Amino acid sequence: MSKFYNLLIGVFAIVVLTLGLHAQVPNGGFEQWTAGNPNDWATSNFPGFGAPVTQSSASHSGSSAARGEVVDAFGTPWPPVISTADTNGFPVSQRYAELSGFYQFSPQGTDVMLIYVGMLHNQQAIGAGVGFLPPAGSYTSFSLPIQYGTGDVPDRCIIYIAAAMDTTGGLAGNIGTFFLIDDLNLSGISAIDLALDPTLPSEFTLEQNYPNPFNPVTTIEFSLPTASEVSLVIYNVAGQVVERLVDHRSMTPGSYKVEWAPYSLPSGVYFYRLTAGEFTQSRKMVLMK
């Protein structure tokens, strides 16, 4: 990112933040299975020894989910592990901000549910996220932030899901611990593009989104005459926050475009509010599906 900020010195930058973009994780809904294993995934199933990963009809959506359970394999706890089938990961071309999905988890003893997502560029790790999910008796959403150590855009993604005996990550666990996992999805910031102009904006502005009404994507533009800490937040008519497009982010002077794609929200009136230092302005928009 530093090379981009160097370009911004003394210039007007138009930055396109595709914050609403989502990516399909291959068979992220665990709908396709072959010979007892989910397509595009590797598991810890071992014929004749144990099958801790199975197809379940208790899905969050669609017809099936993946169930992982610590099973008894000839007197030994055999843990469930689900990971991307290709050890190099599946292809991606965006700088995604989070891995999300839905899960249930019923642990025995101190067992935990572990989820890891790794981002690679030219076979080198550039970003990752790891989380231990708490017990959940019904389907519960989770969101795992991905932290990046470089400014590179990843080209491969690895996902790893397991039940472990504790937060040290040791496997095995206690027989009877199980989880259900469904509807995995990558989302968030995907790319930043720059177009340069010799003139800086003279005032703070928040433009009307376009198109409006819209479906499924709309664009919001705003301008910053000085470096500011910026928030751009979407609210419903009840005043509830539905999405934070920019969340207390330090931004340089320039004009910005933010694309918003609320695929999971219903039709209706929404409001977006820009806060930049002491400047605050709100506008109304209409989603029509």
Please state the pTM of the whole predicted model.
Answer: 0.61
What mean pLDDT value characterizes the chain? 83
- What was the pLDDT predicted at 191? 40
- Written as six digits, the tokens of 208 are 């009307």
Q: What are phi and psi of 267, to 5 degrees?
A: -60, 150
Q: Any idea where the domains of the chain sit in the sequence?
A: 2-21+191-287, 27-187
**Strand pairing report for 156-164 and 112-121:** antiparallel
Q: How confident is the model at residue 239 (pLDDT cuts 50, 70, 90)?
A: very high
Question: pLDDT tens digits, residue range 129-185?
Answer: 888 999 999 999 998 888 877 667 788 999 999 997 766 556 678 999 999 999 999
Q: How many CB atoms lie within 10 A of CB 155?
A: 16
- Name the fold adopted by 27-187: Jelly Rolls (2.60.120)
Contact 23, 97 (CB under 8 A): no
CATH code of 2-21+191-287, in short, is 2.60.40.1930
The reply to whether 2-21+191-287 and 27-187 are identical in fold is no
**Strand pairing report for 98-106 and 136-145:** antiparallel
